[in-house]
Amino acid sequence: MLEQPTMVKIYAIAEESPGVKTFFFKWNLLFDPGQFVMVWIPALDEKPFTISYMQKDIMGISVLKRGAFTNALHAKKTGDIIGIRGPYGKGFRLHTNSNACVVGGGIGMASLATVVDRSSDVIVIQGARTASEIIYQKRFQGMKLCTEDGTAGFKGTSVDLLRELLKTHNLNKVYTCGPEKMLYKVFELCKNHGIDCEVSLDRYMKCGFGICGQCDCSGQRVCVDGPVFTTLELNTLEDFGKTTILKTGERVKLRI
Amino acid sequence: MPHIDLSINLCSIPLANPTILASGILGTTKAFLKRVAGNGAGAVTIKSISTEPREGHKNPTVITFEAGMLNAVGYSNPGVDAAAREFSNLQDINAPVIASVIGTQKEDFVRVVEGLSGSQFSAIEIPLSCPHTPGFGLLAGQGTPEATFAITSEVRKITRLPIFVKLSPNIPEICTIAKAAEDAGADAITAVNSMGPGMIINIEAQRPVLSFKVGGITGDALRPIAVRCVYDLYKAIKIPIIGVGGISTGRHAIEMMMAGASAVGIGTGVYYRGIDVFKKICDEMTQWMAENDFDHVDKIIGIAHA
In DSSP terms, A82 is beta-bridged to: A8
- Let me know the angle formed at the C-alpha of A48 by A45 and A52, rounded to the nearest 5 degrees: 130
Give the pLDDT band (50/70/90) at residue A164. Answer: very high
Query: Is 90 exceeded by the pLDDT of residue B230?
Result: yes
User: Could you tell me which of A37, A50, A51, A52 has the C-alpha nearest to residue A7?
Assistant: A37
Q: Indicate yes or no: CB of A251 within 8 angstroms of CB of B73.
A: no
Q: Which residues contact B141 (CB under 8 A, 6 or more apart)?
A: B147
Over the Cα atoms of chain A, what is R_g? 17
Q: What is the pTM of this model?
A: 0.96
Interior/surface letters B135-170, b for 16+ CB within 10 angstroms, e for the rest:
bbbbebebbbbebbbebbbbbbeebebbbbbbbbbb
pLDDT tens-digit readout, B186-202: 999 999 999 999 999 99
pLDDT tens, position by position, B8-52: 999 999 999 999 999 999 999 999 999 999 999 999 999 999 999
Residues 6 or more apart from B213 whose CB is under 8 A from it?
B72, B199
Nearest by CB to residue A5, choosing from B73, B77, B209, is: B209
Q: Is the pLDDT of residue A96 over 80?
A: no
Window 239-268 of B, Cβ < 8 Å to A? 267-268
| Tens of pLDDT, residues A170-185 | 999 999 999 999 999 9
**Domains in chain A with CATH codes:** 6-88 (2.40.30.10), 100-253 (3.40.50.80)
Structural domains of chain B ordered from first start: 8-53+73-195+218-305 (3.20.20.70)
pLDDT in tens, B113-138: 999 999 999 999 999 999 899 999 98
A94 against B35, higher pLDDT: B35
State the pLDDT confidence band at A55, using cuts at 50, 70 and 90.
Answer: confident
Residue A129 has pLDDT above 90, yes or no: yes
**Cis amide linkage into residue A48, ω under 30° from 0:** no
A-chain CB neighbours of B34 within 8 Å are: 219
Q: Which residues pair with A124 in a beta bridge?
A: A102
Question: Of the candidates A15, A21, A17, A19, which has an alpha carbon nearest to the alpha carbon of residue A152?
Answer: A17
Tens digit of pLDDT for each residue in B64-90? 999 999 999 999 999 999 999 999 999
Q: Do A172 and A199 contact (CB within 8 A), yes or no?
A: no
Q: Where are the beta strands (DSSP E) in B110-255?
A: 123-127, 163-167, 188-191, 195-199, 201-202, 207-208, 214-218, 241-244
Chain A touched by B73 (CB under 8 Å): yes
Task: Give the SS3 label for residue B198.
Answer: strand
- According to the model, what pLDDT value does residue A28 have? 79
- CA dist B108 → A197, B12, B101, B178, B203 (Å): 47, 27, 9, 21, 40
Angle between helices B250-259 and B223-236 (to 10 degrees): 30
What is the C-alpha to C-alpha distance for residues A134 and A150, in angstroms, rounded to an integer?
12
Sign of CA dihedral B158, B163, B168, B172: positive
Q: Do B28 and A245 touch (CB under 8 A)?
A: yes
CA A86 remoteness from chain centre: 16
> Has residue B1 got a pLDDT over 70?
no
Question: Which residues in chain B touch residue A239, judged by CB atoms under 8 angstroms apart?
Answer: 31
Contact state of B205 with A245 under an 8 Å Cβ cutoff: no
Per the CB < 8 Å rule, is B60 touching A46?
Answer: yes
Q: Does B39 touch chain A (CB under 8 A)?
A: no
CA distance B99 to B126: 8
Nearest to B62 among A212, A218, A221 (CB): A212
The yes-or-no verdict on residue B2 having pLDDT over 90 is no
Indicate if B11 belongs to the active site: no
